[in-house]
Structure 1
Amino acid sequence: MTTHPYAFRLATYIIELIERRKYTIEKAFTYAISRHNSIKFQDEAFALSENTLKHFAVADFILRENGYTNIPLRKKAAFRVAYYLASQEIASQHELGFISGGLLPKKLIGLLSRGNIEDILTKINTLSPVNKFSLLYSIPPWIVEILVRYLDIESVKKILEKSKSRIYWLRINTLKASSSKVIKRMEKHGIDLIQDKDFPFLYKVQRIKSISIFRKICRKHAQDMIIQDKGSILVVKALEPRKSDVILDLTAAPGLKTSLIQQITNNSSRIIAVDLSPKRLLEEKRILNILSVKNVSLIASNGTLIRLRKKFNKILLDAPCSNSGALRNDPALRLSLWNKPSIKVFHRIQGRLLYNTINHLLSDNGILVYSTCSFSPKEGEKHFDQISSLKLETDNIPGLPGYSGFKCKDDVKRIFPYPHDTIGFFIARAINS
């Protein structure tokens, strides 16, 4: 037995918080350890909850198959953790009785015999590709359905397999620090970094000895480095920010892309950053100050309605979306997105943002970069099939073409966990013609 009962209990609480309150895994973890007043077994509990989120769907299937559809959420969360331990042969049924510390009755532990798990997996493998992949990879079925509809089965399997491993990309804030300084600091704590081939300031975290130490270093030295996915950086690259540009960043908070623009231009461009939420703008202001970002004006306003005195030659619209493409980097989304959100609502908001941007904010021949971290074509291709006033271009934007069946397919880009080693993004660059 290698799992401590305290780690089991803490992981159970984290899973419960994610389902009950729709927290990210980091927020649930931080809240859970603050309530338990202990620093012991934090890394073990975090890893256990993270791995449970990648296996919970089969655990839920076992409960449904055996008629346990209405058990209390705490017991359900504990069963999910126990299933992960049993399925990976980390703990036996006998050991689970002790590890679970009374959270699970014997009748539920009895469902986790090796033979029963093998029978369940055999049954799952007879299901349709959507249901099978959804259960085996713990990915919401509506997301798998989209991928299966627009991609070949082998590509879907590679994307889902790659999504099992979380990736950390670390952007060095060259406004404040040098890469050598950050690398040396990380190596001292057992964290290995590999420089990206496309962006010299971007590093992939190759090895983390302790996740709690990694998070502590990132917080302590927040002025020097930012955790930011490469896909997010590719969105900013598509805008091609230059010194002396005046750029509108619509729906800007919390400001990671805003700060990257100023890093690329060495604080020599001018940014108007707009967001609907004053609270999120306060957080953006805090982040920009930490990173020594200058020449940014923050405006709390509705991006679907805002009018400004002048139009802009460059606009970044990283629109609010379902976040379905981000589940690789936040495994909590596998659970919180299991019940499909209203894509129609996001599509409507995105459409209004695009309408206002094109008709009232973007200058003639101005450049618009639109992005969403979503796999859904309703949050990507469908918008640009309906807009005739924009000339789409894909120069200098890496990625795969958009989904088949849409007129704009060859003029927009999608990036995926495989082959791009990022989260999922839709990116469109357009000229207002």
Structure 2
Amino acid sequence: MNLRRISYRILTGTLRGEMPKKLIEEAYYRLGLSHAQRAFVAEMVYGTLRWLMKLDWIIDRFLERPEKLDGKVRNVLRLGIYQMDFMGSVPDYAAINECVELVKWIFRRKPYLVKPMARLTNAVLRRYQREKGRLRFPSLDEDPVRHISINQSHPEWLVRRWVKRWGVEWTLKLCEANNSPPPITLRANALRCSRDQLVEELKGEGLDVSPGRYAPEAVRIEGHPVFERLESFKKGLFFLQDEASMLVVRALSPQVGDLVIDVCAAPGGKTTHIAEMTGNLATVIALDASGERLKLIRENCARLGITEVRIRRHDASEPAEDLLNRADRVLVDVPCSNTGVIRRHPDLKWKRSEEDIGKLADLQFRILLASAQYVRRGGVLVYSTCSLEEEENEGVIERFLEEVKGFEPESVADYLPYSAKELVTREGFMRSFPHIHGLDGFFAARLRRR
């Protein structure tokens, strides 16, 4: 079984728009990969995606006409240089030889291309091996945006936005955090166990775990186990979720007996958390436009023992007439640019453009406008994103409060655990950052209807 061929195929599929996690899991089950083999493929794919811009900059230094380079060869070179620079377990000579053999395999049906493409691959990688110590990257002092963009492998448009808003040092630290593998956090299922009980259960399964820092239901785990094989997973004792995402539901503070509407619910992380916090004694209506993703909510509810969730397919940008003015709580976790979760999904850096930010902000406003109509008088709405961009966060809330009467902001401080108070802004919003708090980047605002 050739793991580099598998990695190449998954990288190629990802850059064509597919989801790397899905492709890796499909390969794991279809090909019967071992845990170590899956980990190797994941490292190759996610690592190459994480450092894609830096890898391309390096590749282009060794080509006379980089724009003419065949895309398949570029992907092999990306994988090769990633192994040489970041995977200490792979000697340079092995990475080079394997990449040359991979190129031969890729072009096996075009024999006239096999030798020239293999020679090119070998020449670029061997020259890099000899000269990498002499490469000179753009200077941080002379061109900080270009320096951070290349050295930390982030799109230049995104780096420029962040530097303008937060400054060079702040942006550099954020990008460094985005390039670090994120922690794995589990949410203890309060319907079936306490956090302490989950910790003991996981330790009994041989895992290295510790309590989370901000959310009382959070457990941090070291390593990358195959969760589906754990008895604790099969028994529905936990759900994989970042602490920042857990805190959004804490800001919503659902109560027993509430009617709660989760507007963009799939895959069900926050929906199931709401049900757990209320002991299956609130009615939760989960809406999502994707029928396929609604299946994930059903599966998660079944595994976690959640019974009081009603699942409906619905376009969140249009109000559902039968739900108007009925809800005690409404959660509006909108589609966004996902710039707060780049460390988990490095492919997002290459799938977004600056134009997306304004388009998403308009969509988010429409969804918020529709969702606000579900809130009864005295009820609460929480708006949240996993974006760091002001237009998608404060900008949407400010526009909503200007155009819609009858809602007023409430500080989330009274609803978050004491340990999470540092995440509360002066305006009373929740804001988390990977490089400051070690959490995914999230925003949450709490509004009450008068």
Normalization by structure 2: what TM-score?
0.84
Q: What's the CA shift for 1:286?
A: 2.0
Q: What's the CA shift for 1:223?
A: 1.4
Q: What's the CA shift for 1:181?
A: 5.0
| Matching residue within 134, 139, 155 for 1:140 | 155
> Alignment partner of 2:345: what SS?
coil
Distance 1:221 1:139, change over 3 A: farther
Distance 1:108 1:120, change over 3 A: farther
Q: What's the CA shift for 1:38?
A: 4.2
Whether the 8 Å CA contact 2:212–2:243 is kept in 1: the answer is: no
> Alignment partner of 1:138: what SS?
coil
> Alignment partner of 2:256: what SS?
coil
- Worse-superposed segment, 154-163 or 109-118: 109-118
- For residues 83-133 of structure 1, what are the alpha-carbon distances to aligned partners after superposition, in whole Å with 9 as ceiling and x for unaligned? 112224735553333232522534334334245333444346576322222
Whether the 8 Å CA contact 1:325–1:374 is kept in 2: the answer is: yes
Cross-structure match for 1:95? 94
- For residues 306-341 of structure 1, what are the alpha-carbon distances to aligned partners after superposition, in whole Å with 9 as ceiling and x for unaligned? 22255123211001112221111223323434x556
> Alignment partner of 1:41: what SS?
helix
The aligned amino acid for 2:16 is R
Q: What's the CA shift for 1:69?
A: 2.7
Q: What's the CA shift for 1:297?
A: 1.8
Cross-structure match for 1:71? 69
Whether the 8 Å CA contact 2:340–2:387 is kept in 1: the answer is: yes
> Alignment partner of 1:139: what SS?
coil
> Alignment partner of 1:247: what SS?
strand
The aligned amino acid for 2:302 is N
Whether the 8 Å CA contact 2:261–2:286 is kept in 1: the answer is: yes
- For residues 55-98 of structure 1, what are the alpha-carbon distances to aligned partners after superposition, in whole Å with 9 as ceiling and x for unaligned? 22111112334222343433222211211122247355533332
Of Structure 1 and Structure 2, which has the larger fraction of its residues in helix?
2
Q: 1:348-359 alignment to 2 at 5 Å?
A: 348-358=362-372
Whether the 8 Å CA contact 2:215–2:247 is kept in 1: the answer is: no
The aligned amino acid for 1:195 is P
Aligned residues: 417
Q: What's the CA shift for 1:233?
A: 0.7
Cross-structure match for 1:248? 261
- For residues 220-251 of structure 1, what are the alpha-carbon distances to aligned partners after superposition, in whole Å with 9 as ceiling and x for unaligned? 52612111011111111111111122212111
| Matching residue within 168, 173, 186 for 2:184 | 168
- Worse-superposed segment, 158-167 or 252-261: 158-167
> Alignment partner of 1:314: what SS?
strand
Q: What's the CA shift for 1:170?
A: 0.6
Cross-structure match for 2:123? 110
Q: What's the CA shift for 1:369?
A: 0.5
Distance 1:327 1:383, change over 3 A: same
CA–CA separation in structure 1 for the residues paired with 2:78 and 2:220: 31
- Worse-superposed segment, 41-50 or 368-377: 41-50
Q: 1:109-128 alignment to 2 at 5 Å?
A: 109-112=122-125, 113-114=128-129, 116-123=131-138, 125=140, 128=143
- For residues 168-193 of structure 1, what are the alpha-carbon distances to aligned partners after superposition, in whole Å with 9 as ceiling and x for unaligned? 11111121234455434433554211
Distance 1:192 1:121, change over 3 A: farther
Q: What's the CA shift for 1:280?
A: 2.0
- Worse-superposed segment, 53-62 or 92-101: 92-101
Q: Which runs of 5+ in 2 are unaligned?
A: 104-117
Q: 1:422-433 alignment to 2 at 5 Å?
A: 422-433=439-450
Q: 1:366-385 alignment to 2 at 5 Å?
A: 366-385=379-398
Q: Which runs of 5+ in 1 are unaligned?
A: 403-408
Cross-structure match for 1:406? none
Q: 1:367-406 alignment to 2 at 5 Å?
A: 367-386=380-399, 387-388=401-402, 389=405, 390-396=407-413, 397=416, 398=421, 400=423
CA–CA separation in structure 1 for the residues paired with 2:310 and 2:435: 37
CA–CA separation in structure 2 for the residues paired with 1:169 and 1:111: 40
> Alignment partner of 1:410: what SS?
coil
Counting aligned pairs with the same residue, the percent is: 23
Distance 1:38 1:362, change over 3 A: closer
Distance 1:150 1:268, change over 3 A: same
Distance 1:383 1:38, change over 3 A: closer
| Matching residue within 412, 417, 433 for 2:434 | 417
Whether the 8 Å CA contact 1:16–1:73 is kept in 2: the answer is: no
> Alignment partner of 2:101: what SS?
coil
Cross-structure match for 1:129? 144
CA–CA separation in structure 1 for the residues paired with 2:172 and 2:328: 41
Write out the 4+ residue segments of structure 1 that deviate beyond 6 Å after TM superposition. Answer: none
